[in-house]
Every structure is written in C-alpha cells, then in structure tokens.
Amino acid sequence: MTILIVGLVLFLGTHSISIIAPGWRDRTAARMGEQTFRAIYALFAIAGFVLVVWGYGMARQEAVVLYEPPIWLRHLVLLLMVPVFPLLLATYLPGRIKTATKHPMLAAVKLWAFAHLLANGTLADVSLFGSFLLWAVLDRKSMKWREPHPVPAISPSKRNDLIVLVAGLALYLVFVGGLHRWLIGVSPLG
C-alpha cells in the first residue's frame, strides 16, 4: 500500500503544482525554460504513474475490503464509462464537445474515478479512485481563479466531434471487450 500512496503523491502532486502554486510553476518554468520544466515534470509524473500501477497491483493481492458493492452496479458502471474515452479525446480534438464541457479531461477523470468507486470496495480501490476523484474536483474548482495552461491540440473543427465520438466509442468497446482484462486482470463484464 505504501508504494501506491507514494505513487499517488508523486503523480497527483506533480499534476497539482498549477493548482497549489501557479506562480511558482510559471517562475520555475521561465527560469529553466519551458521545455526543460516539462521534461522534469514528465519524469516525475511517469515515475509516479509507474509506482501507482505497481503499488495498486501489489495492494490488490492483499485486499482489505471496505465495502462490497452489489453486482447490479456493474451495469451502471459500464454505462457511466461510455463517455469517458470520447471526453479524453475531446481534450485534444476540440469541437462542440470540448466547448460544452470546458474541461473534458477533468470530466473524464471524475466519471472514471466515480464509476470505479461504485464497483470496487477495497482500500486500494478507494485510495486510488478516491484520490483521482478528489484531485479532479479540486483541479476543476481551481480553474475559477487560475489561468490554465493550454493543452496541445489540433485546430478546432466540427468534424472533431464525429472523430471523438467514433474513436472514443471504439476505444470503449476495445477496453470492455478485452483490453481492461489484459491490462488490469479483471473483466468489466464479470
């Protein structure tokens, strides 16, 4: 569990710099150069992600059950997960979906985390998905008082919405159809 917690602190901590200390982030990036800052940021984020994956896998082997969700919630989770991949793609393929949601990546993370909290009740699950949900909510709230950094994306287009929907739903089907089981070791279909 310790490795999972360290990974979460490193990964989400890195992603929280703009929330907690936007001035420090901008001054540091200006001093060392934006590309150097992003490279160091990426190294910390990747290290945190690796620790999260490794720690979560280890914590699942000795699961501490906090609650047991009813089986029927799996159907609700499958439904809640449908928009997640399109929202993720809408972040980088701006169109009406991105305009309507304003921050589609954060919406996707909130949906993903909330859905997984409904379906999973171990301490590792609550730590992982609860941390991501809390982070996404705080990040979204912080957008009211800070200037977000632009996300690299292609030019806005109405066609992007079609691409986002088709590709996002295709990714969803691939994930549900077997990729989740291959990556995570659990089939969302039961």
Q: Write the pLDDT tens digit of every residue in 7-64.
A: 999 999 999 998 888 889 889 999 999 899 999 999 999 999 999 999 999 999 999 9
- Do both 117 and 35 map to the same domain? no
Last residue of a domain, one of 62, 78, 98: 62
| Domain identity same for 36 and 84 | no
Shared-domain flag, residues 98 and 181:
yes
Copy the structure tokens of residue 142: 């912080």
Structure tokens, 47: 């290290």
Half-sphere exposure of 34 (CA within 13 A, CB side): 3
Mean pLDDT of 98-116: 95
Domain end residue (candidates: 10, 38, 62): 62
- H and E: helices and strands count for the chain: 11, 0
- Same-domain status, 31 and 96: no
Same domain, 74 and 104: yes
Q: Which of 19, 45, 62 is the last residue of a domain?
A: 62
pLDDT in tens, 54-65: 999 999 999 999
Same domain, 165 and 90: yes
22 and 98 fall within a common domain = no
Indicate the pLDDT class of residue 153, thresholds 50, 70 and 90.
Answer: low
- Statement: residue 149 has pLDDT above 70: no
47 and 75 share a domain? no
Q: Which of 107, 86, 91 is nearest to 163 (CA)?
A: 86
Angle at 77 between CA 72 and CA 141, to 5 degrees: 135
Which range marks the domain in which residue 39 is found?
Answer: 1-62
Do 30 and 82 share a domain, yes or no? no
Number of domains the chain is built from: 2
pLDDT of 151: 66
User: Is 101 buried (19+), middle (13-18) or exposed (0-12) by CB count in 10 A?
Assistant: middle
> What is the DSSP secondary-structure string of 56-123?
HHHHHHT--BS----TTHHHHHHHHHTTHHHHHHHHHS-SHHHHHHS-HHHHHHHHHHHHHHHH--BH
